[in-house]
Homo-oligomer: A and B are copies of this chain.
């Protein structure tokens, strides 16, 4: 067959640059029941900076009573060590949060609303129109302060309550935010419903329609399709991905299933394939291995358990003796003895 020549170019990165954006400190830690001490959060953020992540979502400027795990947002955002070239972003839900984030020197504000009407009401307790109006005020606040804005649209690839979400509905919201002057949009697969064919189609369509917008893809591995979705998006031209250290984060609709795609798994796979993420995998894995002690439980990361593919294992302790016997038996066999 023609298989040998028809293979897609996506499997070979050939040095293509992929920007890895870390969301574990926010999307991950906000789900944890343990409060990670402020100095440990700062140390983790610094380790992630050193590892070479392109963007780090440092925290969330929400109400401390709503998300107590991130009640130290100001201190963390102010005290991290900033690596030149790395973008330090923070989630903000409203103008008050934006003001706090800007005062704390966030490089970018990350705004969230849902592409699903039902999910927006259930999760944010606002209608989509209300969310948009509120976020428009936040955009204005950021623009006045000359701080960049990214909008994360939830449920782009499906809603756990509504089912399919029409791409036209998603693109309608993208257009309205682009009209406000927003430069970055994240297409979020909030509950792991995305699949590669859909991802390739939506990514290609979005990039074709708004070539000037910086699109990020945000996947969860809830149904085991995380890396495949990343590759489908890359094949459609995407070059920015959210991922979570250790695979932290979760999906409230699938207890026990994986959460966000795991940063070190994606970095490892892309490195194997020849993509350039700029991330030091060993440093990233070392950072992930700090997590269990901080959050009090094991992490989903497969790479933290298995190591990179060429992390070799010693032969068995008695390998010399086994080999000697195997060679002796091979000799017998050559001598004509039946051995089986």
Contacts and interface: CB of A to CB of B under 8 A. Distances in A.
Contact of A3 (B162, B164, B227, B237): B237
**Number of copies of this chain in the oligomer?**
2
A319 B121 contact: yes
B305 A256 contact: yes
Interface string A85-102: 000000000111000000
A190 to B, nearest CB: 12
A114 to B, nearest CB: 12
B306 A254 contact: yes
A126 B329 contact: yes
A105 interface: no
Interface in A131-169: 133-134, 137-138, 158, 160-164
B268 A223 contact: yes
A291 interface: no
Given A269-B196, A306-B253, A314-B161, A121 B322 contact: yes
Q: Interface extent on A, as a size class?
A: 35 or more
A33 interface: no
B305 A224 contact: no
A15 to B, nearest CB: 13
B269 A207 contact: no
Interface in A286-340: 298, 302-303, 305-310, 312-316, 319, 322-323, 325-327, 329-330, 333, 339-340
A204 interface: yes
A9 B318 CA distance: 49
Interface stretch (A19-27, A41-49, A72-80, A228-236): A228-236
A340 to B, nearest CB: 4
Contacts of A211: 1
Contact of A340 (B95, B198, B257, B326): B95
A231 B208 CA distance: 25
Interface in A194-214: 195-201, 203-205, 207-208, 211
13 contacts: A1-B211, A6-B235, A8-B235, A118-B319, A121-B323, A130-B330, A134-B340, A160-B312, A161-B313, A196-B231, A231-B231, A256-B305, A257-B305
Interface of A: 1, 3-4, 6-13, 94-96, 118, 121-122, 125-127, 129-130, 133-134, 137-138, 158, 160-164, 192-193, 195-201, 203-205, 207-208, 211, 221-228, 231-232, 235-237, 251, 253-258, 262, 265, 268-269, 272-274, 298, 302-303, 305-310, 312-316, 319, 322-323, 325-327, 329-330, 333, 339-340
